[in-house]
Each structure stands twice: as structure tokens, then as C-alpha cells.
Amino acid sequence: VGALDGTLVHAIIPSSQQTVYRGRGNGKCYQNVLRICDFNMIFTFVYIGWEGVAHDSRVFTEVMAAPSNNFPFPHPSKYYLCDVVYTNTRGFMAPYRNVRYWLGDFRHRHARLKEKFNHAHAKLRNVIERAYGVLKARFLILDKMSPYPFNVQRNVIIVCFTLNNFIRKEKISDELIAQYE
């Protein structure tokens, strides 16, 4: 069906709430964003607003558990590709743990069966990284958010994803898409 992953988007947070939005050791504040895209680099689901310190797997579990989030569960015979922070469950396929996975690890080296699977998985799952690379290159505000109220920041992120999809679907001539395809 596609690929899913979490990412951090820069956020401006009131000082009284910054502790839970601080991200991964650099002191800046972020919101954790769960995103899903198809193999045409179209984002099909985005959930925004989680604290930057929240682990991707926790965000994923909580978002799936709440019916109000309208999480797009895949058909029983289909899968989303995800990375190792997610567990293999029906509809979600992660790579083998403790086996080479990242594309750069496979340069000119022989691979065993599980490594071959992980290599194929990584090549396909890379679509989520490329799609987000286009989005971040197009909308620099995602790396340096303006000091809007938090609910406005969330709306800005939604608009970025929506406009990106519009450009992609309408096949508007775009150097960024060509660069990341």
C-alpha cells in the first residue's frame, strides 16, 4: 500500500510546555508527525501535534487506537512498510531486526536471505524518505516554524502536506520531484 514513518517538525512552544516538546538532544522543540505515503509519493495520512519526545511507536499505537483519527488500516492482504521501531503485525511490515538494513550497508557485499529481504524492504520503504525530502525542500518553514500559536502551526503543516499532494497529483512541472524520484 505504501510506507509509514514518524518525523519531527520544528515547533514554537510556550516555555511552560517546552520540556515534552524538546527533541532528541539538541534543545529545540518539535512536534512528532506520523505520516503515510503511497508509492507515488502522495501522502495519504498525516497525524500531527504529538510531543517531540514521544517515541514513534507510541504515537503510532495511540493514533491507531483512537477511531476518531480515521487511521487508514490496510486491506488484510496489503501492508505498509515501516522501519524497525514498529513491530510486524497484520498490515505492517518491518524489516528483520539485527540484520543489515540501510541502503548504504549493501554496497558491493554479498547478502544472506534476510539481508536480501531487508535490502528490498529498504529500497521500497525509501519512498517515505524521498516524499518527505521533497516536502521539506519545498516548505522550509517545516525546519524553522514561525512563532504562530500552536494550533496555527499545526494548520501550517497540514497545508504544506496538502499543497505538496496537489502539486504531485496535478503533475505540475517540479524540479524537486524530479530530483527525489
Decide: 53 and 46 in contact? Cβ < 8 Å. Answer: no
98 pLDDT higher than 90 = no
User: Which residue did the predictor score with more confidence, 155 or 101?
Assistant: 155
For residue 25, how far is the Cα from the chain centroid?
Answer: 20
Highest mean pLDDT among 82-86, 100-104, 174-178: 82-86
pLDDT over 70 for what percent of the chain?
91
Decide: 86 and 92 in contact? Cβ < 8 Å. Answer: yes
Is 90 exposed, middle or buried, given 0-12, 13-18 or 19+ CB atoms closer than 10 A?
exposed
pLDDT of residue 130: 94
Q: Using alpha carbons, list the distances in angstroms from residue 14 to 20, 29, 44, 118, 150.
A: 11, 10, 31, 42, 9
| Domain limits, the chain | 2-180
- Average pLDDT, stretch 90-109? 76
Decide: 104 and 119 in contact? Cβ < 8 Å. Answer: no
pLDDT tens column, 100-145: 666 566 565 666 888 888 888 999 999 999 999 999 999 999 999 9
Instruction: Select from 82, 95, 105, 87 the least CA-distant residue to 7.
Output: 82
pLDDT of residue 129: 94
Structure confidence at residue 25 as a pLDDT band (50, 70, 90): low
Rounded Cα gap, residues 19 and 77, in angstroms:
41
> What's the whole-number average pLDDT of the chain?
89
User: Which of 14-18, 26-30, 51-55 is predicted with the least confidence, judged by mean pLDDT?
Assistant: 26-30
pLDDT of residue 174: 73
**How many CB atoms within 10 Å of residue 44?**
15
pLDDT tens column, 26-38: 778 999 999 999 9
169 pLDDT higher than 70 = yes
Is 107 exposed, middle or buried, given 0-12, 13-18 or 19+ CB atoms closer than 10 A?
exposed
pLDDT of residue 102: 62
Query: What residue type is 39 in one-letter code?
Result: F
pLDDT of residue 136: 95
Q: In sequence order, which ranges of the chain are alpha helices (DSSP H)?
A: 18-21, 56-65, 113-138, 150-169, 175-180
Give one word for 70, left, alpha or beta, with left for phi > 0 and alpha for psi -120 to 50: left
